[in-house]
Amino acid sequence: MKKELPSSFPQEILPDLISYLKHLEGKGIRSLYLDDIEESGPFEQPSSTSAEGGEPVPVTAIRKDLAELEEGVRACTDCPLHETRTQVVFGVGNPGTKVMFIGEAPGRDEDLQGEPFVGRAGQLLTKILEAIDQKRENVYITNILKCRPPDNRDPQESEVRCCEKYLISQIELIQPKLICALGRIAAQWLLQTKAPLGTLRTGEYYYQGIRVLVTYHPAALLRNPQFKRPAWEDFKKLKAMLEASP
């Protein structure tokens, strides 16, 4: 029997509700109402424009495609990292978002919980997002690598080459208006450059036609508090870009 939300249900909180239910689903808690809410006509979520610039793609369809992609990542054994991971860390957030945040790789907390940016660095990122009037649930967050490198070492080029196809697919499915590269490694891979982070922060770049903003990884801000001021300038710039985006 189909379940329906009451007509008085506030539409403006529906994306947050669905995002939270999907988050619980990732933890093994499935809501009986999730499919019906997502498919219910009066409460249809926003759409994301297709990569070819044609008709908008419903967010529910993008979610399904991302879920299929995630299953493929969970079965991946292309590099040795699958032997040491606790679990795959695919990505989390709203696939209908304007902005996608990309870091380098999961850390210990992320490997244990299966969600990106949940440790101290992730908590700082959440606070920064709140400071620019963004909710974590309304953006999309992922990493270049979907498995944790041992001892949190930097990703190796061979690992990135094995894993990059998954990130490329995520970007193609979500089609954000803006990508925020968190840290040197993410920025250098996306932009295919060896330029230092300080240089990359000040330039104007694009990835497959999508504007790329480069800033410090939140972990770097924890290690080096002097980076917090320039990072804040980057995020204020990001806020202005999002507000100017249709």
Answer yes or no: is 203 within a domain.
Answer: yes
Answer yes or no: is 62 within a domain.
Answer: yes
Answer yes or no: is 6 within a domain.
Answer: no
* pLDDT surpasses 80 at 160: yes
**Closest of 66, 102, 72, 48 to residue 217, by C-alpha:** 102
Report the chain's mean pLDDT, rounded to a whole number: 86
What b-and-e string marks burial along 167-180, b requiring 16 or more CB atoms within 10 Å of the CB? Answer: bebbbebbbbbbbb
| pLDDT band, residue 15 (cuts 50/70/90) | low
Mean pLDDT of 44-50: 49
Answer yes or no: is 4 within a domain.
Answer: no
Domains identified in the chain, total number: 2
Same domain for 65 and 148, yes or no, is yes
Same domain for 35 and 129, yes or no, is no
Residues of the chain above pLDDT 90, percent? 74
Mean pLDDT of 25-48: 52
pLDDT confidence of residue 78? 96
* pLDDT surpasses 50 at 1: no
The most confident of 5-9, 41-45, 170-174, by mean pLDDT: 170-174
| pLDDT band, residue 207 (cuts 50/70/90) | very high
pLDDT confidence of residue 215? 98
DSSP H stretches of helix in 118-245: 120-131, 157-174, 184-191, 197-200, 218-223, 228-244
CATH number at residue 81: 3.40.470.10
| pLDDT band, residue 188 (cuts 50/70/90) | very high
pLDDT confidence of residue 58? 82
Same domain for 25 and 120, yes or no, is no
Q: Which domain holds residue 190?
A: 45-244
Q: When comparing pLDDT for 120 and 50, which is higher?
A: 120
Answer yes or no: is 95 within a domain.
Answer: yes
Same domain for 25 and 101, yes or no, is no
Supply the DSSP string of 169-191, one letter for each residue: HHHHHH--SEEEEESHHHHHHHH
Mean pLDDT of 67-93: 97
Same domain for 130 and 198, yes or no, is yes
Same domain for 121 and 21, yes or no, is no
pLDDT confidence of residue 16? 55
Mean pLDDT of 9-21: 58
Mean pLDDT of 108-119: 96
